[in-house]
Chains A and B, each alone.
Chain A
């Protein structure tokens, strides 16, 4: 077991829990520190607010992360006491060697039995309920009609009329789409209402807000048109499977891993390195979006992970964090779609990136700016796709022309580096290029998002990270 601070932070459900655990360790809240002879189980007493100290343990009997147990009533898992115990181990505090306590031995045995039972039991096959599916599809088709009508009414009276109480009414109507299993269009309409509402608070941003609302409406229109065809076909053919289509998610469907496996959307033995990480709040869906950008070491593709944490249940859903190690997963599940595909995995192991692997990372960049630009243009013109595309492009030079940051690739092609307004001030990164401690080494690449900037009708790159042969310099997190 190699314990690092980064490892502990990754176990924490949120940064505050990790910090509280660190404080417990620092103030000497732990007593009776013990460990087994083989070093797979650590336990201690931790003084809490209760009369008796909490009994907390960390069990490394399985693979990967330890099983943390604590007698405190916290619903966070692992709790701050367990994280504090990990900090105690990390700090090299003395642990007496002792026999495993009976209760922990029993818990360990029960856990092993459960794991064995899980492995032995064949995976349950879900049988689709045809009648229910038919009913759902019919309801969805009705919902599409409603969504179309809402969009048409809105455009007929004009986006400019969507303000104040009318926006609230509109949001309420959009909620009806949720009961038609169309959470995707519901979110799109809520997003439009929210975007237009910003016009009232910041009239100087009206143009950008209306433009954004229009982009959402265009995507919604495309979703409705294409979905109607797809759902009608399904209804008529009686085929109720999710199918390999990005429309499923656009309508609000949530992919399960077994569904992705069923449609063959997975890859075995993948090796990934995180290029960047950030967190944003999606006001329309009222959730935190923790987004990681990953580079596949074998194929050179860029993927994204999105950990969604509803604001209502923030305490109970574990947060993601930046990862600096190389992640190896036996099965990498890919969401349907093109460009910046979302990925997930069930289990993974991590290890430090070797110098050889580091030096290979910039070589996975696009051959030059031209193919990256072509790919981006092809992607963003798709009405259903995001209006940006990630790219790893080789760096020839980075500099300034008249106050604008510019990247020149080794072939001499150039692209303007600019912060994408929609990303918000928190993700502004261009100015950080001018703060880099040293010169960017030869053979480096720049990772970022290519996007269309309507102000000067140009394709720009929002920089996220500089990938050098020795390290990844993150401009964000």
Chain B
């Protein structure tokens, strides 16, 4: 049976409800719907009932129409529901499969995570990181994974980057989703997709990358070209792209080609660098042999030119040449092909001559220092064995020279046991001022101080524990210049290079270190009248500042915020017995070290805390002191 007349009646009744039943009497469309329904009424009792109800509605007085309309609509709806169709015609296509997992994640954990990934507002990054820390497995759930993928386009860049990192950590599970609905003409989110896919698949991403390259536009195109560099089989294509693309896309192609191997690549780069010296920037991250050879050739060529200029009596280097030279030095950093090693050997014999060079404003141009720094950073950053051997070789040519001493020390720290390195290099760090050959020995001593300062954070392997103790006895302490380093606690005075090195080399777990350094810092506390900075360092050594503290407090005229006193005492409470901390609090209470505005608060807080500590209670929070203001 064709039920269209019934649906027409339903529609007209609904219109009547929206327009108002007052107009029902004049609704000719409703009357027409009734006329169309009447023939069906004979075939079905329920339709007859609807037709009768409709007639009644049309004939009803205004005040009774609303009830009649609702009753009739209830009946019409009931019929419509029972006549609802089900099913669908056609061939059933199987569903694609996602790459995630199914996990039992309760609403209380899943909903906030999905909210953080899909909405906007503050606090989302913290939540994502907290869940990533406690439940990384949640991110591979099939409900979360799409949100992480779409989160690559989050308006808050840090969240988008975090999502990219998460996807890289999850492995190939996200690949189907990353490739699904990929828009080659998209924005930053699509660029991140390309980067993640390339990171996950490596060379395996090539077929997909080649497929999307033809439609890729703007930033996505540059990202796709860059990603093609991950597969050595793309060399021919990249060479072609380097010829056909322009702007950012060509730069991406050059960046990708810098990672390729082969004769064709070497030939391309030889030509490219000859035409365009600025392309040497791309060699910086390249780890290939040809890049090292070309960097050596390029740098060598420029150094030879400078030598020729010096021979001709021209000592001035133009600004453009300086920039060009620095670019090639960056390109050469960390490279270790035989040609590069040969270049360093060649340059070693000319360092003194290069010292005569002047920059474009006729001031000394420190090319020798730049060359030395380039080699040192290369050794520390890459730890390349040929460079380490070269450093030892150059230093071995004349062990009394200071120039390659840091390089040799860094190289030895990377390759030999710490105690052996100490044995070889500790004599350079003098504990007594020499009578003979003082200038050269002091240069070596300062070179050791400089490299120890640089390596104090373990940049090139662990250092022997004896360095800190030897440093305490150093004949010359601070390095020339006025560089300072701030300690790791708030409010501390800046430290010179010697003390910065000392604090970096200090091992709080070594009793001998602690004893020796504690005595040094106690002495410095009184000398510098700086109880706060050196007192904190004494505490870090596990010692008590008492004794020196009274004297330093008496000498110091500086006043501190009460918060700094609390912070100092809180650290004391962590390392010292309660009685000792209470005694320190007493010293502060008697001193004039608190700034005037905080004195009343200090007068309440300090004795109260000392009393608590003596009663065996924990050291209070700053909040407790703050409440006493």
Chain A residues engaging chain B, CB cutoff 8 angstroms: 6, 9, 12, 14-15, 18-19, 22, 47, 49, 51-53, 148, 151-161, 210-211, 214-215, 217-218, 221-222, 277-279, 319, 321-324, 369, 373, 377, 380-381, 383, 397-402, 404-406, 408, 413-416, 432-439, 452, 454, 456-459, 471, 473, 475, 477
Contacts and interface: CB of A to CB of B under 8 A. Distances in A.
Contacts of A211: 14
B487 to A, nearest CB: 25
Contacts of A221: 67, 70-71, 74
B86 A152 contact: no
B20 A398 contact: no
Main secondary structure of the interface of B (DSSP, over half): helix
Contacts of B70: 151, 155, 217-218, 221
A207 B111 CA distance: 31
B578 to A, nearest CB: 15
A438 B97 contact: yes
Interface in B349-394: none
24 contacts: A9-B106, A15-B108, A15-B112, A18-B108, A152-B67, A155-B69, A156-B21, A158-B23, A159-B17, A159-B18, A211-B14, A215-B77, A217-B70, A377-B82, A381-B78, A381-B82, A397-B92, A398-B95, A406-B88, A406-B92, A414-B86, A414-B88, A473-B102, A477-B111
Nearest to A152: B66
A373 B93 contact: no
Interface string B58-98: 00001101110111011001101111111111111111111
Contact of A210 (B7, B18, B20): B18
B85 A459 contact: yes
Nearest to B78: A381
A321 B101 CA distance: 21
10 nearest A-B pairs in the assembled complex, by CB-CB distance: A158-B20, A435-B98, A15-B108, A477-B107, A399-B92, A155-B66, A381-B78, A152-B66, A414-B87, A221-B70
B483 interface: no
Contacts of B93: 399-401
Contacts of B92: 397, 399-401, 406, 408
Contacts of B73: 214, 218
B72 to A, nearest CB: 10
B143 A475 contact: yes
Contacts of A437: 97-102, 142
Interface residues of B, number: 66
Contacts of A159: 17-18
Contacts of A152: 63, 66-67
Given A6-B106, A218-B73, A452-B80, A436 B142 contact: yes
A381 B81 contact: yes
B21 to A, nearest CB: 5
B368 to A, nearest CB: 52
Contact of B18 (A14, A51, A160): A160
Contacts of A214: 14, 17, 73
Nearest to B106: A322
Interface in B1-55: 7, 14, 17-23
A462 to B, nearest CB: 14
Contacts of B78: 381, 383
A402 B90 CA distance: 8
A70 B107 CA distance: 27
Given A156-B65, A157-B22, A435-B100, 20 more contacts: A9-B106, A9-B108, A47-B621, A49-B623, A155-B65, A158-B18, A160-B19, A214-B14, A222-B74, A319-B108, A322-B105, A373-B86, A400-B93, A401-B89, A435-B98, A435-B146, A437-B99, A437-B100, A475-B143, A477-B111
Contact of B620 (A51, A148, A155, A156): A51
A463 to B, nearest CB: 12
Contacts of B77: 215, 218, 381, 383
A452 B107 contact: no
B102 A156 contact: no
A377 B111 CA distance: 33
Contacts of A381: 77-78, 81-82
B604 to A, nearest CB: 13
B108 A321 contact: yes
A152 B621 CA distance: 66
Contact of B95 (A6, A434, A458): A434
Given A222-B74, A433-B95, A437-B97, A210 B81 contact: no
A456 B7 CA distance: 11
Contacts of B97: 436-439
Interface string B172-213: 000001000000000000000000000000000000000000
A178 B17 CA distance: 26
A433 B623 CA distance: 52
Contacts of A477: 105-107, 110-111
Contacts of B17: 155, 158-159, 210, 214, 217
A161 B74 contact: no
B276 interface: no
A308 B583 CA distance: 58
A12 B362 CA distance: 74
Nearest to A396: B92
Nearest to A10: B106
B134 interface: yes
Given A51-B624, A414-B86, A452-B84, A324 B104 contact: yes
A457 B109 contact: no
Nearest to A403: B93
A151 B62 CA distance: 14
Given A157-B22, A436-B98, A457 B65 contact: no
B164 to A, nearest CB: 20
Nearest to A26: B134
A232 B506 CA distance: 91
Among A211, A214, A321, A324, the most chain B Cβ lie within 10 Å of the Cβ of A214
